[in-house]
Chains A and B, each alone.
Chain A
Amino acid sequence: NAGVTQTPKFQVLKTGQSMTLQCAQDMNHNSMYWYRQDPGMGLRLIYYSASEGTTDKGEVPNGYNVSRLNKREFSLRLESAAPSQTSVYFCASSEGTGNTDTQYFGPGTRLTVL
């Protein structure tokens, strides 16, 4: 049981390049989330998926798109990377049952946009 896994661990992009961050969970969770964490700050929600087939914007969705590929996988895409998107990106998942819904986090992807 690996929990939440993310690939890649590190990535360097040039401004304008595109890339997709991958996330998978093996806990049979319904809900999945993408956050970004900037230095000295807490996590901010980019997008989330309450259940397979649905996605919704979080606090900072601009410049990103997401795809809930199936129940296990939730990807985050940067179509045209900008230096302001340099950050650490975390994926999380939760049962999504409507009660106390603990989110479990992956190890993160460290992205630098030059």
Chain B
Amino acid sequence: GESVGLHLPTLSVQEGDNSIINCAYSNSASDYFIWYKQESGKGPQFIIDIRSNMDKRQGQRVTVLLNKTVKHLSLQIAATQPGDSAVYFCAEDAGGTSYGKLTFGQGTILTVHP
């Protein structure tokens, strides 16, 4: 079946650095992508999303880039802070009859060192 996966399971950065978390997806029909942040013992928290008709979207300190040619999604966090330490998941929605049924990647553990 279709899947969403991450290249790196862990990422360690220094406070103040920029972080980039990558995600590969295989379903070319997916038209909506979301990044979630999950802190220990909590549910996933929405960070940012992007539709397939866009290639970049910016939020507060976060940017999502979508490259449909190579089916690649990335999350950039600027000036990473210790509070950004968490597991980050990408998720895709194939739309159509699969609308609302998200497929999640395995997650990347981001550790920010002060």
Contacts and interface: CB of A to CB of B under 8 A. Distances in A.
Interface of A: 4, 31, 33, 40-45, 48, 50, 58-59, 90, 92, 94, 96, 98, 100-108
23 contacts: A31-B100, A33-B100, A40-B106, A41-B106, A42-B4, A42-B104, A42-B107, A43-B44, A43-B89, A43-B91, A43-B104, A48-B101, A90-B43, A90-B44, A92-B43, A98-B99, A100-B51, A101-B99, A102-B46, A104-B46, A105-B36, A107-B43, A108-B42
B107 A48 contact: no
Nearest to B32: A100
B43 A100 contact: no
B106 A101 contact: no
A33 B103 CA distance: 13
Contacts of B51: 100
Which 7 pairs from chain A and chain B are nearest by CB?
Answer: A42-B104, A105-B43, A43-B104, A105-B44, A107-B43, A42-B106, A108-B43
A69 to B, nearest CB: 19
Interface residues of B, number: 24
Given A104-B46, A108-B43, A94 B100 contact: yes
Given A42-B89, A43-B89, A103 B45 contact: no
Given A90-B43, A108-B42, A100 B99 contact: no
Contacts, number: 60
B24 interface: no
A107 B42 contact: yes
B86 interface: no
Interface in B10-40: 32, 34, 36
A44 B34 contact: no
A114 to B, nearest CB: 21
A105 B45 contact: yes
